Amino acid sequence: MSRPGHVHDEADFVIVGTGAGGATAARVLAAAGLDVLMLEEGPDLAIEERPREAVDALRIALREFGTTTSTGLAPIPFLQGCIVGGSTAINSGIIWRMPEDVRRDWIERFGLGELVDGRGLGRAFEILEEELEVEPTRADVLGGNSERMALACERLGLPGKPITRNARRCVGSNQCLQGCPERARQSMDNSYVPRARRDGARLRDLMRVEQVVIEDGRATGVRGQTLDKVTRRPVGSFEVHARRAVIVSGGAIQTPVLLRRSGLRGMVGERFQAHPGAAIVGRFPDAPVGMGYGATQGYEVPMRERGFKIESLSLPPEMLATRIAGVGPEWQERLAHLDQFAQWAVQSRFKAQGSVRPGLFGGARVSYAPLPSDVRQIQEALALMVRMMFAAGASEVYPGLGGGIPDVLTSPEQADLIANLKPKPGDIHLVASHLFGTACASSDPKKGAVRPDLMSWEVRDLYVMDACVFPTNMGVNPQHSIMAVVWRAAERLANQERLAKSA
């Protein structure tokens, strides 16, 4: 007899999370005719239910409104989606294939030759790019912010290019963070979650999984709490039985927390890595930038050989206003000309590694601190962005840095102040949205938490299918590689099921 407020369900495959990993696994397994149940802690919101004001929209869609941070003197916030579609529902849809040097490194050091086989991975990328409408940002939707960056690259001889995104039908509404009002961006809530449901998969939202049920060394289901849509507070409990397997796709922070709370140890939670980033703003008084029109992120400067990538990043007015330098009348004057500002950001491939553990009072404890070489790398990138702003015609630049750096820079020569800064913790304000590791895949259990087929080394029929399994970070946006790697692993799982049924 079920208890009041208690939900019980079952499926062949229970998938925890609906982001790039979980939704792709559901798409592949459901298409193979398997019984799939997707569980998502966040809400299942139609586009019409997501507020158009970015702060309100992100309050609904971001885990803890971006307040999960690293420990230490200079905490780094980690941005994680908590909504159907996961982080894909709040990003700009940037698409990069896995760099060849990363693929070879994973084969040579971690024995992942079958998982990231060149031909098989290439086939997965091709399918994804066709189904998710991937193409470079068109000139008519670049917008003024990206056009200024393109001009800077032309004048300084930098290798800039339009960003490739999963948004072939983009009309330049600049509302990726709030959820594309035209559903042009093929985030997982617009693409693979509904596709999996059409193929028979089921979705239960507002279900916080708190434990993987393990019996005789095998994952047999999950337990957790059901949440109220408005308050996100528990209103009941649930238990779901998995006849074939449990697939955990909660991301590089939530996945290891769940696995450790379920009793797993070893390499679970180790080797946490990230691409922390920072941003600057420039003022262009001679011609309006018009940040309100164009792709949220339309242009980039890939510089992997130097450890970073620069991207245009348009913000809605209420968020852009917080980045404008000055106080009182000075700030008000600038605010009155909000269409004159451009913002660019850098994502840097840090070498630092950390760890993730369950927090003492819930949540996660992330131990992570940049190395001195990481800090120098992002200083180099910030200094370059300042020079780019002035090359594109900026009259002043707002670096947003401590350490005695002026709030307003008025010449490109002042970029040297950033390059030569000896920063103290907190002088450079970092945010990280690309998170990796914590359940690495490896053919050697001493190096990883999951096998090359992404099943746990410790527990049978327990799979991890998200960026946790990446042994290293990559220096490019990861969602496309997450989907391709998961496609390969889920397809193999589906084939095994077919063979078992035909035997």
Check which CATH number belongs to the domain holding 385 and give it.
Answer: 3.30.410
For residue 183, how many C-alpha atoms fall within 13 Å in the half-sphere facing its CB? 11
Q: What residues are paired with 236 via a beta bridge? A: 226
Q: Give me the chain's average pLDDT, please.
A: 94
pLDDT of residue 3: 63
Q: Do 250 and 315 have their domain in common? A: no
* 159 and 288 co-located in one domain: yes
* Structural domains of the chain, count: 2
| pLDDT value of residue 1 | 44
Tokens 């409104």 belong to which residue?
A: 65
- Asked whether the predicted pLDDT for residue 442 surpasses 80, the reply is yes
Which of 393, 409, 429 finishes a domain?
Answer: 429
In-domain check, residue 408: yes
Say whether 434 is catalytic: yes
| Residues 312 and 334 reside in one and the same domain | yes
Tokens of 333: 């004057």
Contacts of 266 (CB under 8 A, 6+ apart): 445, 449, 457, 458
pLDDT at 258: 98
- Same structural domain, 322 and 337: yes
Query: In this predicted model, what pLDDT tens digit does every residue of 361-401 receive, in sequence order?
Result: 888 999 999 999 999 999 999 999 999 999 999 999 999 99
Same domain flag for 119 and 223: yes
Amino acid sitting at position 480: H
Q: What pLDDT score was predicted for residue 91?
A: 93
The amino acid occupying position 398 is Y
- Confidence band, pLDDT 50/70/90 cuts, at residue 49: confident
Instruction: With respect to residue 60, please indicate whether it lies within any of the assigned structural domains.
Output: no
Residues 104 and 248 in one domain: yes
Residue 256 φ/ψ, nearest 5 degrees:
-65, -30
**Rounded mean pLDDT, 478-482:** 98
Q: Is the pLDDT of residue 463 over 80?
A: yes
User: Is 175 found in the same domain as 28?
Assistant: no
Do residues 199 and 285 both lie within one domain? Answer: no
pLDDT tens digits, residue range 224-257? 999 999 899 999 999 999 999 999 999 999 999 9
**Is residue 184 in some structural domain?**
no
Among 275, 337, 434, 480, the active-site one is 434
Task: Quote the distance between the C-alpha of residue 481 and its chain's center.
Answer: 11
Q: Find the largest Cα–Cα distance for the chain.
A: 78
Q: Is residue 359 part of a domain?
A: no
What backbone torsions phi and psi does residue 501 show, to the nearest 5 degrees?
A: -70, -30
| 280 lies in the same domain as 309 | yes
Q: What is the DSSP letter of 122?
A: H
What CA–CA distance (Å, rounded) separates 15 from 179? 23
470 vs 464: CA distance, rounded Å: 11
Final residue in a domain of this structure, among 408, 429, 450? 429
Say if residue 21 is in the same domain as residue 119.
yes
Report yes or no on 50 lying in a domain: no
Indicate whether 34 belongs to any domain.
yes
Predicted pLDDT of residue 47 = 87
The boundaries of the domain holding residue 406 are 67-79+136-179+273-352+371-429
CA angle 36, 226, 65 (to 5 degrees): 100
Q: Are residues 291 and 378 in the same domain?
A: yes
The yes-or-no verdict on residue 2 having pLDDT over 60 is no
Please indicate, yes or no, whether residues 173 and 317 belong to a single structural domain of this protein: yes
* CATH number where 249 lies: 3.50.50.60
Are 32 and 251 in contact, with CB atoms under 8 Å apart?
Answer: no
